Amino acid sequence: MSIRTDHPPGVIIHPLGPVPASILQHLAISVQDRCQISCLVGESMENPGYAQDPEREQYSCKRILQQLHRCCTPHSWQVLAVTEIDLFVPILKYVFGAAQMEGRCAVISLHRLRPQFYGDEEDEQLLLERLVKTALHELGHSLGLTHCRRRTCVMYSSTRIDDTDAKMADFCPTCRELFRWRLQGTG
Amino acid sequence: MAEASKKKSFKVVPPGKKKCIWMEAGVVSYKLCDHNFDCQTCSYDQGMQLKVARQRASLTAVPVAQPLPDEFTPTWVEKEMQLPAHRRRCRYMLTGEVDRKICANAYECGNCAFDQMMQDRQQPSQLPVQAHASVGGFELAEGVYYHDGHTWARPEYGGRVRVGLDDFARKLVGRLRQLSIPEVGQAVKQGEAAMELQRNGSRVRALAPVDGIVTHVNYEVLNNPSLIQESPYEGGWLFIIEPTRLRKNLKNLYFGEEAQSYLEEERERLFARVHEDDRIAADGGPSMDDITADLKDEDWSTLVKEFLRS
Ligand SMILES: [Zn+2]
Ligand SMILES: [Zn+2]
């Protein structure tokens, strides 16, 4: 496993609990292609039982992000955790993903990205599309990008899964420019 | 003089005809209602609403407004109170809604049984909200004007304006223990505190979206504030006013797409405010129905006050 420490900086994807390897591989390739950032799949991390919230019966993004931050390897720019468990942050009923603004860690849940969650047929292609969009979105936040007003931009805030399906797996020209510019700054 | 009287006679409303709410509000100088006050399906009303929305954006010239009738001011109570008790006319007699009725209740309409009966009978029937738009999980009712303090105003039947809390406020204030709203006959002013919301011993005020005199109060919501939780734009309405500066006031409110943009901004602002310490950004679901119940370290009144701008 070699990590590039020169430009552009790298992303390591960690499964948080069991996650199919094929999904993670696909994500790594897609992120690398779309963002021109080196991206690879790192080792599996334990199921985040520590983040369980008894009242909400979901897992706290805040606690997961804190934990990720602690074991963040200094030679990767960004840690992207992917998990099957249902995530939340205060005041939202659930989240597809969360990141720390201008931070080094982000987490994505497959729970509500899976078509089966909505009573639809299993569809790996659709799941992967949703996952890539959510990953790009969270990486955008990590670079300090805020939500975009354009419905088709990947930085548009998804409230429901339909919003995610309606947006492209890409940044609008403005957000892309900002993404590139911020990315330069991190190297 | 001849010119003036000519102008005046021109504006006589024929018997049996009613002024359009836009004439009543002084926005247009002469327009009769030809749609049985069913503004929701009236094309003239829709045109006017668009026009007002556009004027807000472009600040172009507006039609000349007529001075508003001054017949329903807060001082009418004082005037009547100077009369002997047997000559104090009930407000429904003053407005011609009953032939003869003397007030025996010192104009405390809020606890007058007759007033309550009249209100129940005359309550402008609640118009069903035609459509809701969802902005990041917050509902917006169409045909409604929004104040930036998260109260709404809807011009309706007979030129009156119904007032309530918007869905953002509903989720932010959560389960109220009690609320106080102005009494019938009381004057309220746009942007000034008109209501008080109570929860767990804390109080926060909410602002009136338009100027006017309160004509009806939703007694049901006073007894049961959870109606706001059930439907903030329908059963959870708070009071109805006779507007006094509607044309001017509407210019300061958000409508249609502007209301959507404002709500989107407020949603982002609230999320950033709540997560200002952990700096978390998230891609995810609608807000909880009771936002502050989900925040352990946040003081209800501080947060609510900030967003209701009181
Ligand atoms: Zn964008
Ligand atoms: Zn986001």
pLDDT digits (tens, 9 = 90+) for B56-65: 555 433 333 3
As beta bridge partners, residue B199 has B202
What is the residue whose two structure tokens read 């917050």?
B138
Of B270, B280, B286, which is closest to A93 when you measure between CB atoms?
A: B286
pLDDT of residue B52: 65
Q: Tens of pLDDT along A118-160? A: 999 999 999 999 999 999 999 999 999 999 999 999 999 999 9
B277 CB neighbours in chain A (<8 A) are none
Q: What is the mean pLDDT of residues A5-19?
A: 79
- Chosen for mutation from B257, B283, B287, B295 (greatest number of chain A CBs closer than 10 Å) is B283
* Closest Cα in chain A, distance from residue B271 (Å): 8
Q: Residue A144 Cα, ligand 1 centroid: separation in angstroms?
A: 13
- Do A107 and A61 touch, CB atoms closer than 8 A? yes
Would you list the domain boundaries of chain B? 14-121, 132-308
Does B66 have pLDDT greater than 80?
Answer: no
Report the run of H or E that residue B138 belongs to, with start and end: strand B138-141
Q: Tens of pLDDT along A50-100? A: 999 999 999 999 999 999 988 776 667 799 999 999 999 999 999 999 999
- Measured in residues, chain B has a length of 310
Does B17 have pLDDT greater than 90?
Answer: no
- Do A91 and B168 touch, CB atoms closer than 8 A? no
Does A4 have pLDDT greater than 50?
Answer: no
pLDDT of residue B64: 38
Q: Residue A161 Cα, ligand 2 centroid: separation in angstroms?
A: 13
d(CA A100, CA A78): 11
| DSSP secondary structure letter of residue B109 | G
pLDDT of residue A41: 93
Quickly state the pLDDT bin for B71 (edges 50, 70, 90).
very low
Catalytic residue positions of A?
138
pLDDT of residue B306: 97
Ligand nearest to the CA of B271: 2
Q: What is the mean pLDDT of residues B172-187?
A: 93
* Closest Cα in chain B, distance from residue A8 (Å): 23
As beta bridge partners, residue A15 has A82
Terminal Cα distance for chain B, rounded: 48
Mean pLDDT of chain A: 91
Q: Residue B111 Cα, ligand 2 centroid: separation in angstroms?
A: 51
Of A62, A157, A159, which is closest to B280 when you measure between CB atoms?
A: A62
**Per CATH, the architecture of A10-184 is what?**
3-Layer(aba) Sandwich (3.40)
Identify which has the larger pLDDT, B36 or A104.
A104
pLDDT of residue B1: 43
Q: What is the mean pLDDT of residues B71-75?
A: 49
pLDDT of residue B124: 54
Interface contact B283-A98, CB threshold 8 A: yes
d(CA A112, CA B237): 35
Interface membership of A89 toward B (CB under 8 Å):
yes
What is the residue whose two structure tokens read 């407000």?
B91
Among the listed residues B247, B195, B189, the one whose alpha carbon sits nearest the alpha carbon of residue B213? B189
A134 CB neighbours in chain B (<8 A) are 283
Q: Which CATH number fits domain B132-308: 3.30.70.1290, 3.10.20.30, 2.40.50.100, 2.60.40.1840?
A: 2.40.50.100
Interface contact A101-B281, CB threshold 8 A: yes
Q: Tens of pLDDT along B88-136? A: 888 777 766 777 888 888 887 777 777 777 766 655 555 566 678 888 8
Interface contact B283-A157, CB threshold 8 A: yes
d(CA A159, CA A139): 18
Mean pLDDT of chain B: 82
d(CA A178, CA B130): 41
- Chosen for mutation from A64, A159, A162, A164 (greatest number of chain B CBs closer than 10 Å) is A159
A contact residues 90-109, partner B, Cβ 8 Å cutoff: 90-103
Q: What is the dihedral of CA B71, B72, B77, B80, to 10 degrees?
A: 30
Q: What is the mean pLDDT of residues B9-25?
A: 66
Q: Residue B80 is encoded by which pair of tokens?
A: 């009547």
Interface contact A157-B285, CB threshold 8 A: no
pLDDT of residue B31: 79
d(CA B125, CA B87): 32
Q: Tens of pLDDT along B232-250? A: 999 999 999 999 999 999 9
ipTM: 0.91
Q: Residue A62 is encoded by which pair of tokens?
A: 């805040």
DSSP per-residue letters across B36-63: TT-GGG-HHHHHHHHHHHHHHHH----P
Ligand nearest to the CA of A142: 2
* Closest Cα in chain A, distance from residue B286 (Å): 6
d(CA B250, CA B192): 15
Q: What is the mean pLDDT of residues B284-296?
A: 91
* Closest Cα in chain A, distance from residue B287 (Å): 4
Interface contact A159-B286, CB threshold 8 A: yes
- Do A126 and A161 touch, CB atoms closer than 8 A? no
Mean pLDDT lowest among B131-145, B187-201, B293-307? B131-145
pLDDT of residue B73: 47
Q: What is the mean pLDDT of residues B16-42?
A: 70
Among chain A residues, CA nearest to B293: A91
- Whether pTM > 0.90 for this model: the answer is no
Interface membership of B277 toward A (CB under 8 Å):
no
Ion ligand 2, residues whose Cβ is below 5 A away:
B 281, 283
pLDDT of residue B22: 74
Interface contact B295-A95, CB threshold 8 A: no
DSSP per-residue letters across B231-248: -TTTTT--EEEEESSHHH
Q: Tens of pLDDT along A157-177? A: 999 999 999 999 999 999 999
Q: Tens of pLDDT along B274-287? A: 999 999 999 888 99
A149 CB neighbours in chain B (<8 A) are 264
